[in-house]
Amino acid sequence: MNTVPTNSHARELAHVVRGRPTADGAGVKLTRIIGQPALEMLDPFLLLDEFRSDTAADYLAGFPEHPHRGFETVTYLLAGRMRHGDNQGNRGLLSAGSVQWMTAGRGIVHSEMPEQENGLLWGFQLWVNLPAADKMTAPRYQDIAPERIPEIELGADARARVIAGTLGDVTGPVQGIATEPVYLDVRLDIGATVALPLPPAHNAFVYVYQGKARIGATPAHELVRGDLGVLGLGERLAVSAPTAAARLLVVAGKPLNEPVAKYGPFVMNTPAEITQAIEDYRAGRFGEFAARGENAPAR
Ligand code: CO
């Protein structure tokens, strides 16, 4: 663990948001937690979706060929398998415990399809904004297999998988991201208490995806499954599991404080740049999508 003075400023729970059910892609049922009226964004985070179903009809349609420009999509799978392909020639299979950090930059066309016909599909997609200076950078994929994500002990009764950022002397495998994100998957046994250092000026949230977790010492600040807690600024997060075991995402990123113009899969700084993105995509300037064969529906 990083050495954090015991009197350092702890992050308070600022407010709690519940996701709302929606559908996206070709009809995948999911819960949108960031990017909905209760939390339009949390700079630099534009969207957080959780998909969790063991009913194949909820996910089978997947996310066929679609574009992105101007930001990053981060997919973290807890259960199931997803096949991705894009027009840059990248192909991959996401399995349980793996993460894919895709920097769309100036433009990418990809597909994200469940590779299973039954069983549980469970995971998250987070959208991370890019600074204006990087919005037209070259597209980039970082595919991280489960065994490349270090899991560290936080005492005898808590563990964290470090996907991005640094915890103690462990740095996660996702590197070179403009907003210097921290992305942790934390597991607390009942009774556990941990203090997690976070960059003090980063915006941060926790999302409890199993059990219950308490922020700080106030009993009223207990979050249950499906609660996203927006955190105030500070040097560390004190989180505990006094009444039930908990699993939660802890995510932080450097705010960009730049204007945001959003239209579907395009996130730029001005409406004119959105118009340009639409024109570029329609004119084929994102490049051809070459993965039709393996993702096309059976015919
Ligand atoms: Co996508």
Does residue 296 register a pLDDT over 60?
A: no
Predicted local distance difference test score (pLDDT) of residue 65: 93
- Grade residue 116 by pLDDT with cuts at 50, 70 and 90: confident
- In the reported structure, the alpha carbon of residue 73 is separated from the centroid of ligand 1 by a whole-number distance in angstroms of 7
- In the reported structure, the alpha carbon of residue 106 is separated from the centroid of ligand 1 by a whole-number distance in angstroms of 14
Domain map (residue ranges) of the chain: 13-253
Residue-wise pLDDT for 257-290, tens only, equals 999 999 999 999 999 999 999 999 999 999 876 5
Task: Give the whole-angstrom CA distance, residue 189 versus residue 294.
Answer: 42
- Grade residue 165 by pLDDT with cuts at 50, 70 and 90: very high
The CATH homologous superfamily for domain 13-253 is Jelly Rolls (2.60.120.10)
Does residue 70 register a pLDDT over 70?
A: yes
CB atoms within 10 A of CB 141: 18
Residue-wise pLDDT for 222-240, tens only, equals 999 999 999 999 999 999 9
- In the reported structure, the alpha carbon of residue 193 is separated from the centroid of ligand 1 by a whole-number distance in angstroms of 36
CB atoms within 10 A of CB 128: 25
- In the reported structure, the alpha carbon of residue 69 is separated from the centroid of ligand 1 by a whole-number distance in angstroms of 10
Between β-strands 20-24 and 13-18, what pairing exists: parallel, antiparallel or unpaired? unpaired
- In the reported structure, the alpha carbon of residue 152 is separated from the centroid of ligand 1 by a whole-number distance in angstroms of 30
Is the Cβ–Cβ distance between 176 and 206 less than 8 Å?
Answer: no
Residue-wise pLDDT for 185-217, tens only, equals 999 999 999 999 999 999 999 999 999 999 998
CB atoms within 10 A of CB 139: 22
- In the reported structure, the alpha carbon of residue 158 is separated from the centroid of ligand 1 by a whole-number distance in angstroms of 33
- In the reported structure, the alpha carbon of residue 148 is separated from the centroid of ligand 1 by a whole-number distance in angstroms of 23
25-29, 34-38, 241-245, 290-294: which has the minimum mean pLDDT? 290-294
**How would DSSP label each residue in 130-144?**
--GGGTTSPPEEEEE
Task: Give the whole-angstrom CA distance, residue 103 versus residue 140.
Answer: 5
| Residue whose structure tokens are 């970082």 | 142
CB atoms within 10 A of CB 118: 9
Does residue 118 register a pLDDT over 80?
A: yes
pLDDT > 70: what percent of the chain? 94
